[in-house]
């Protein structure tokens, strides 16, 4: 098991953003809807991607992954079971359920695992597929579904904390091969869903309204192969904005789409940063000498992303004043609070709220990464802290950041990976 050893660093230069993990995973699953060859470009080299590749290989796909390009074609069509040994490590693998059911008429997918960030039920996935006509039972840790023919319907996907990205993806994929028209109400509007819809349309799907709360899908009989490029990872771009703020380092963030980061850049500006955007999809950020406190509330897109809450909490731990962070997506997503406090932060958590009293300095400590985004927060805190920081269990960060320590080293960060 690896760890990061980090010392306080001043950074400069430019960093290039990789393709989006959260876009790539459902798109890879969507290749189950066709037997023809698909090519997917700008795929990040992550442990989550490798797990999804293994799942599709079990399901009969032949896959080649070279130079960030996936070539996927069907080898066998009979298997319809995504096993627990693979699905347990990654929640997005549950996205195999919809396309498997639509194409092979039955599916058996293990209930998912992933990061420990609070309860994330799959009830909306099941509800939506049942309304399309699937017969589903959950037994012995598996979700088993079958349907002779899926039929389009008007489906409401609103949950207690807003729309669900993965449920929207699952229902959207299944609806492409359903009879008639499907209307997905309260659909997730995230750019990752828009990227998935573009992929499906290139395969021959009939979809309207992606990137809006109402998606209309007119079912077709078959889908074909296609080629697509994955969008830039907005969460990785936002993480490097946080790196800039925490280390007081001006940076150029290249191959980022600023349109996906409006709420994040607005928070950074309120903290005192100046931000410029180029026509070449670069973000230039210059942080202030002292960060201002701000209040942040996580919301569905285009609101502030829950996947950047931890990273910005690390920054606000050094702000000159008191900040309030409200988590409205995953109210229990505060595993990083105790570890940041071990580094000298003053953070008090009450329910879905975290009160962050900024301090001039944080101090290095041995800390434990509990999940993917908490790992990034601890790395950010370590880069801005006095003395040595050791971040344990960095396998979490490898799930969502492509070679993050190498990218940081090129910027001048004092970080190394050790066993």
| Residues carrying an active site annotation | 115
- Residue written as tokens 């598996």? 142
C-alpha–C-alpha distance, residues 111 and 143, integer Å: 6
| Interatomic CA distance for residues 121 and 128, integer angstroms | 13
221 burial via Cβ count (<10 Å: 0-12, 13-18, 19+): exposed
For 67-125, the three-class secondary structure string (H helix, E strand, C coil) is CCEEEEEECCCCCCEECHHHHCCCHHHHHHHHHHHHHHCEEEEECCCCCCCCCCCCHHH
Complete DSSP assignment for 355-375:
EEE--S--B--EEE--SHHHH
In Å, what is the CA distance from 61 to each residue of 54, 169, 170, 392? Answer: 9, 20, 19, 35
* Rounded to 5°, angle at Cα 385 from 380 and 389: 80
The H-or-E segment that residue 214 falls in is strand 214-218
For 64, the token pair is 């080649």
Could you give the CA distance from residue 59 to residue 79 in angstroms, rounded to a whole number?
Answer: 5
For 349-353, the CB contacts below 8 A with 24+ separation are 352/326, 352/327, 352/328, 353/324, 353/325, 353/326, 353/327
């Amino acid at each position: 098991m690896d760890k990061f050893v980090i010392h306080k660093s001043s950074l400069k230069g430019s960093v290039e953003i990789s393709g989006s993990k959260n876009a790539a995973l459902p798109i890879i699953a969507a290749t189950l809807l066709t037997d023809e060859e698909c090519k997917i470009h700008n795929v990040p080299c992550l442990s989550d991607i490798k797990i999804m590749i293994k799942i599709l290989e079990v399901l009969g796909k032949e896959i080649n992954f070279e130079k960030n390009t996936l070539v996927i074609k069907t080898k066998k069509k009979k298997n319809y079971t995504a096993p627990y040994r693979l699905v347990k490590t990654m929640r997005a693998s549950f996205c195999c359920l919809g396309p498997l059911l639509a194409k092979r008429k039955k599916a058996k997918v293990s209930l998912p695992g992933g990061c420990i960030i609070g309860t994330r039920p799959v009830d909306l996935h099941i509800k939506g597929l049942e309304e399309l006509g699937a017969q589903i039972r959950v037994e012995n840790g598996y979700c088993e579904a079958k349907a002779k023919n899926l039929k389009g319907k008007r489906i409401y996907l609103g949950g207690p904390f807003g729309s669900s990205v993965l449920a929207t993806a699952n229902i959207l994929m299944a609806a492409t091969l359903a009879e008639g028209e499907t209307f997905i109400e309260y659909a997730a509007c995230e750019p990752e869903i828009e990227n998935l819809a573009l992929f499906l349309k290139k395969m021959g799907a009939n979809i309207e309204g992606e990137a809006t709360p109402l998606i209309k899908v007119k079912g077709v009989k078959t889908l074909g192969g296609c080629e697509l490029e994955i969008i830039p990872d907005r969460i990785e771009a936002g993480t490097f904005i946080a790196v800039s703020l925490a280390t007081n380092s001006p940076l150029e963030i290249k191959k980022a789409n600023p349109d996906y980061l409006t709420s994040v850049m607005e928070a950074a500006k309120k903290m005192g940063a100046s931000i410029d955007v180029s026509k070449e999809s670069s973000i230039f950020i210059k942080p202030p000498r002292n960060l201002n406190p701000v209040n942040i509330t996580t919301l569905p897109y285009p609101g502030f992303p829950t996947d950047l809450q931890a990273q910005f909490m690390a920054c606000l731990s050094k702000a000159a004043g008191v900040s309030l962070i409200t988590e409205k997506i995953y109210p229990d997503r505060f595993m990083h609070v105790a570890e940041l406090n071990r580094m000298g932060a003053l953070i008090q958590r009450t329910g879905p709220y975290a009160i962050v009293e900024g301090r001039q300095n944080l101090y290095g400590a041995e800390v434990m990464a509990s999940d993917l985004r908490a790992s990034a927060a601890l790395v950010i805190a370590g880069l801005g802290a006095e003395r040595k920081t050791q971040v344990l269990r960095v396998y979490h960060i490898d799930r969502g950041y492509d070679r993050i320590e190498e990218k940081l080293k090129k910027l001048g960060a004092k970080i190394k990976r050790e066993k």
